[in-house]
Chains A and B, each alone.
Chain A
């Protein structure tokens, strides 16, 4: 080191010296930078630079870090900048350092890369933009630093101007929340490169959103990242502008606009996208808040109508929009009836939801059973054996249909299709597909079923046969005899044990077949054909549409020539059953079989045939098909079958049967022996029991209108249902079904094989899951499991004396002892409480869901009002004399009898003066689930049998805490909700009360709405909390309500009791005579009420209610509802009848 050198670099040297006071890293970096810079900079500049560095370092305690960064960045920055600017750059940093060294650190750090994209004259602006974010706090400095750091990246896509605006946006946002601003910054870095050209617009939008509703910025960026990116550049800009315009006019949900908008745009054809946005603009011009709704609903609309039709719908909406903002929103939300009608008139498609009730009623009319109509999807989701989500089907009590039909150009035809599929599906119910009974003889065939061997019997027979064969007596002629003898032995041995192995007769039937898939397919064709036959005979009106659907179904059938022999013949059967008559292609060598199959189909397609005929026909068809190996054939091997008329008609049915009988028997046996020989291990449950040695047979493609037909499962399910409704009483008690039995059935069921074959492991899992679901489904339907069993009935003696009401809100009432024929004074204590508040949602949702019913009820109630203005005759005082009454009176006077004094009439308003108290039974039994998803509500329903218990437990666990089924109490709530809403139109005085309790000391009485209370928001919230509690001691509750009612001034007073069963409580409903006690006390309390001038009415949903209700209500009015679901509808009706 020389002096001259030292002198030369006096400044730099002294700076170095000074820098030594700082951590060594500063000096190190300084020297590194200095080394490079001395070469490039003039000495003076270099000195200035060094001094700058020193100044930075000595600004504050921590500013040495900034200095270090400054030195570090200097070399790179210097390359980009002329020396003047370079120094200025340092100066800017220094002044930043005054604010916060960390800002300076960030500034210097990002400078080298930023300078690549930043014009030198903007350096100051840049630091200012970032510095704006800094407000002296830690968070603000972190944000500012982040912006510095992000600058190079941002500038890759943004112009500096845009960057400034983005900074401005962050600044606004950061005033509200630094976290949000930080997130927005991060999201921006991600987003901007993807929407490069539209970044400026987006920033502008973000700016507005941040000003108007800053909380939404996060969502805005989320939505933008999610949806804008996918949107083509051409539509992105306009959409953002749209959102911006909407945001300016006050629509808060800019994020939604982006999301829905891009979703909508992506849904429409490319050439109409501009127009879609134009349309939205058009709406925005009239009603800004309706525009987002339009974007949201547009995809849904487009599912139903074409784009052009939507344009019409939109322009109609604009007209509506000019009326009012609300009208516009309702229209574009598709909530106004105007809008729905408009859409309806434009669209030709039919949604199931709109015609569901009509179809449901249609089905009810046709079958006499309350058939549910649901979307197919729902059955598939249940996962109990049905897989297709689009095809129509039925499981015996519900028919499942596609959610929307858009096959034809007109609404009528689309509805017609619904009608055809529902007619066919309920045909299965109406014409008894599921009432198949193995032992019932067919009408048209000689019955073979009883003579055919089942799988288990086959085993035994085989063993026998082998022993016989080994003994040398292998004569084929005697085979059927052998079988029969083996059978009888078998049956004798096993006795009754053989029978309950099958859950359904259908299972027993399919058990006859080795190739169950084939049997099922054949049976399906024959049975469906039979149903079609019935339909065309009994419902000739539908045939036009039916034929149309069948023709369409025919057109979509696969080409017979593409199928191997056996499948070709099954396909042939389907075609015959669909009504194809000419151009029938069949494998040439099986023409004879085809003819026979055709005859079989014709034979069952009449109203004489029943399901057993279809089964017999299936046996015959099966025996024909089983012989035909499923080989691929050349096109030449298919020939056209002559039309039926030309067929030689030398076949008399008897003859055919005679020939067939032994032949078929033999075939069933042979099939076994060949099987036995070929692989020797035909254990009953192995999966590979079907299809040995032959080409795989696969089931034909379903016929669309016939859908999935699952006779076994459906029979099982519908049997359970019928048992519940008591329609199958003659079969008596059915053993509870165990999971093992179900598994057995599922394994054997041909309907399930598809799943099993497809995936070995997964299949098994699927099946077991399915079984579990099915078990649940069955449980819902099993009446045994539903019965509400209250806890062990304790014989608590009702000793003790009268009670005294001391606390506020308690009241005592006497109780009637019918044995002693006297009152027990002050025997029961009422605890009156106000129901706690819940959520208002239940109320709102119920109203929304039942809007059509609500309209009806309202209309009904409105009719009451004019009735109040009727002319009243025979009054003691009034407007004018009643001529009739006067005449009578004069006559009476003449004759010398005392005349009636009621001589006037009056037209004035018959002031409706009605006070009514609704008394709801909140007993625990109202927790019982109803119909569609019945489940035992609590542990009381637990079965005793350990196996059942496990199943039960499992189903409960999987159910979790979520309650998806509907309870009686829910229906009560619904009814009350609908009624309350309508009662407000009438202006009657009404109160809603609930009661329950445990024991005579503790009768809980809940006020949901008191008689003199106004209907306020709190009432719906209390209704929400109506829930099952304990027991049902009706007497005191009725007395208390009556007491409340008699305090009200009203000409007519009513007590409306809604209950789900007989009164019961501890010491109120014990066995034997005690049961009567409750009934008599309740009756007595009602009599008391009547003496007070109150009209009691009891509505019960207990089907067994008729017996005790007769005693309890005697000459009071009551009604037993046959179906709980009728309650919401019936309640207002009753109310109206009762009070007018």
Chain B
């Protein structure tokens, strides 16, 4: 989510992450991702919402573009800028079908016209295709990604009757949140065993404070208190809360605080009310908020 100053429109395969997205690694995930990418092993990001999965992918797209252009410029010492790695993100939802990913025929004045779907475009352009919340998509979508995730690296398009071998730079990255869907919406083993999995969890208090301070621009001591709040609320997971407070939420609170909203109120609107509808849990979280914030 590089901040755009003005309106720009790009084709999805031309979407590059040009500015370094802020990302604080919690362990060796950057190295793992880089190695996996070099070996073109697809990656599965697991973790609760708001733990930086999407941000991580953006960061890696940027980072890999950098190394890519660096190595290219070293070897070929020419036009480094065009060697960037596109990032094509698809947010999966429950009505997402295979043809939404692969492409479909459309009617136009002259008859029909084939339109590539985002996955096809990513396969062709050799970018990272990031399928966010993969389990939400319909079951038929998971099947079409199978050939892309093993040695074949190919995409079969039924309706066209074609098979596309993926461009060299192509990599499939998917994410899912094991906790929040119900037990039925789990990834199938046949799917999940095709990926290297990186687990994401909330960063430790100190790191999180740092992230909050950076992202929201609030004072560090406020960020520390927010991080503490996050930590405390996460203790309620499985005991009334399905998900812990995401770092994102805390950042929003930090932003509101920076805007001059009172601390307690900011936490209430961005954390308490966002995280649950259960009045009793809300009340409990409010008590934590009022304990931490004056």
Known A895-B112, A1119-B183, A1134-B182: A542·B291 in contact at CB below 8 Å: yes
Known pairs A366-B288, A1115-B189; A543 contacts B183 (CB<8 A):
no
Q: Name the prevailing secondary structure of the B interface residues.
A: mixed
Which chain B residues lie closer than 8 Å to A892 at the CB level? 105, 159
Residues of A within 8 A of B (CB): 357-359, 361-362, 364-368, 370, 419, 423, 538-544, 852, 856, 887-888, 890-892, 894-895, 897, 1097, 1114-1115, 1117-1119, 1122-1123, 1126, 1134, 1137-1138
Residue of A nearest to B228 (CB): A538
Task: Report B261-292 CB contacts with A as 1/0, cut-off 8 Å.
Answer: 00010000000000000101101110111111
- Minimal beta-carbon separation of A340 from chain B (angstroms): 15
Q: In the complex, which residues of chain A have a beta carbon less than 8 angstroms from the beta carbon of B294?
A: 540-541, 543-544
Bound state CA distance, A1028 and B55, in angstroms?
52
Do the beta carbons of A419 and B239 come within 8 Å of each other? no
Residues of A within 8 Å of B281, CB to CB, are 361
Please, how many angstroms separate the alpha-carbon atoms of A892 and B289 in the complex?
Answer: 57
Q: List 29 A-B contacts (CB under 8 A).
A: A358-B283, A361-B281, A362-B284, A362-B288, A364-B239, A365-B232, A365-B284, A366-B235, A366-B288, A368-B235, A539-B291, A539-B292, A540-B294, A541-B293, A542-B290, A542-B291, A856-B278, A890-B107, A891-B105, A891-B106, A891-B107, A894-B107, A895-B105, A1115-B188, A1115-B189, A1118-B183, A1119-B183, A1126-B238, A1137-B182
Task: With CB as the reference atom, state the residue of chain A lying closest to B224.
Answer: A538
B189-208 contact mask (Cβ, 8 Å, vs A): 1 or 0 = 10000000000000000000
Contact across chains for B239 and A370 when beta carbons are under 8 A apart? yes
* Shortest Cβ gap from A1109 to chain B (Å): 12
- Bound-complex Cα distance A1123 to B290 (A): 29
What are the 3 closest A-B residue pairs judged by CB atoms, nearest first? A361-B284, A1137-B182, A368-B235
Question: B182 touching A364 by the CB < 8 A rule?
Answer: no
Q: Are B238 and A541 in contact (CB under 8 A)?
A: no
4 A-B pairs besides A358-B283, A368-B235, A895-B112 with CB distance below 8 A are A852-B280, A1117-B184, A1134-B183, A1137-B184
Provide the residues of chain A in CB contact with B165, threshold 8 Å: none
Count, A-B residue pairs, CB within 8 A: 98
Rounded to whole angstroms, the CA-CA distance of A423 and B291 in the bound complex is 9
A544 to B290, CA, bound (A): 11
Interface membership of B248, Cβ < 8 A? no
Residue on B with the closest CB to A1136?
A: B182
Q: CB of B214 within 8 A of chain A?
A: no
**Do B112 and A891 touch across chains, with their CB atoms under 8 A apart?**
yes
Question: Which chain A residues lie closer than 8 Å to B232 at the CB level?
Answer: 365-366
B14 part of interface (Cβ distance < 8 Å):
no
Q: Is B290 in contact with A541, judged by CB distance below 8 angstroms?
A: yes
The reply to whether the CB of B104 lies closer than 8 angstroms to some CB of chain A is: yes
Contacts of B283 in A (CB 8 A): 358
Interface size on B, residues (CB 8 A): 37
A897 x B184 contact (CB < 8 A): no
Q: Which residue of A lies closest to B182 (CB)?
A: A1137
Bound CA–CA A366/B232 (angstroms): 5
Binding site for A on B (CB under 8 A): 104-107, 111-112, 159, 182-184, 186, 188-189, 225, 228, 232-233, 235-236, 238-240, 264, 278, 280-281, 283-285, 287-294
Could you tell me the distance between the alpha carbons of A544 and B232 in the complex, rounded to whole angstroms? Answer: 21
Q: Are A895 and B159 in contact (CB under 8 A)?
A: yes
B107: chain A residues at CB < 8 Å are 887, 890-891, 894
Tell me whether chain A's interface is mostly helix, strand or loop, or mixed.
helix
Contacts of B291 in A (CB 8 A): 362, 366, 419, 423, 539, 541-542
A365-B236 in contact (CB<8A): yes
**Smallest CB-CB separation from A418: which chain B residue?**
B287
Q: Which residues of A contact B159 (CB under 8 A)?
A: 892, 895, 897
Known: A362-B284, A362-B287, A541-B294. A1137 touches B183 (CB 8 A): yes
Closest chain-B Cβ to A505's Cβ sits at a distance in Å of 26
Chain B hits for A368, CB < 8 A: 235
Chain A: CB-nearest residue to B235: A368
In angstroms, how far is the closest chain B Cβ from the Cβ of A590? 38
* A1117:B183 contact, CB within 8 angstroms: yes
Quick one: which of A357, A365, A1122, A1137 contacts B280, CB cutoff 8 A?
A357
- Chain A residue at smallest Cβ distance from B283: A358
Q: Is the CB of A1117 within 8 A of B284?
A: no
A54: min CB distance to chain B, Å: 91
Q: State how many angstroms separate the Cβ of B78 from the closest Cβ of chain A.
A: 43
Complex-state Cα separation, A892 to B294, whole angstroms: 64
Specify the chain B residue showing the minimal Cβ separation from A1099. B183
Asked whether A894 lies within 8 Å of B280 as measured between CB atoms, the reply is no
CB distance from B142 to the nearest CB of A (A): 14
Determine how close the nearest CB of chain B comes to the CB of A798; give it in whole angstroms. 33
Whether B288 pairs with A365 at a CB distance below 8 angstroms is yes
Q: Which residues from chain B contact A370 at a C-beta distance below 8 Å? A: 239
Known A-B contacts A890-B107, A897-B159; A365 and B235 likewise in contact (beta carbons under 8 Å): yes
Closest to B161 in A: A897
A540 adjacent to B292 (CB under 8 Å): yes
- Smallest CB–CB gap between A434 and chain B, Å? 18
- For B104, list chain A residues within 8 Å (CB): 888, 891
Chain B residue nearest to A1098 in the complex (CB): B183
Establish whether residues A541 and B292, one from each chain, have CB atoms under 8 Å apart when the complex forms. yes
Which residues does chain B contribute within 8 Å of A365, judged by CB atoms?
232-233, 235-236, 284-285, 288
Contact A541:B285 (CB < 8 A) given known A895-B105, A1115-B188, A1119-B183: no
CB of A1096, distance to nearest CB on chain B (Å): 12
**Given A540-B294, A891-B107, A897-B159: A367 and B186 interface contact (C-beta under 8 Å):** no
Query: B292 touching A538 by the CB < 8 A rule?
Result: yes
CA distance A538 to B239 in the complex (A): 23
Residue of B with least CB distance to A360: B284
Q: Complex: how many Å from CA A359 to CA B283? A: 9
- Counting chain B CB atoms within 10 Å of each CB, which of A358, A365, A1118 scores highest? A365
A619 CB to closest chain B CB, in angstroms?
A: 32
CB distance from B243 to the nearest CB of A (A): 14
Known: A541-B291, A892-B105. A1097 touches B183 (CB 8 A): yes
List of A residues within 8 angstroms of B189 by Cβ: 1114-1115
On whether the beta carbons of B184 and A361 are closer than 8 Å, the reply is: no
Q: Are B239 and A361 in contact (CB under 8 A)?
A: yes
Residues on B with beta carbons closer than 8 Å to the beta carbon of A1119: 183
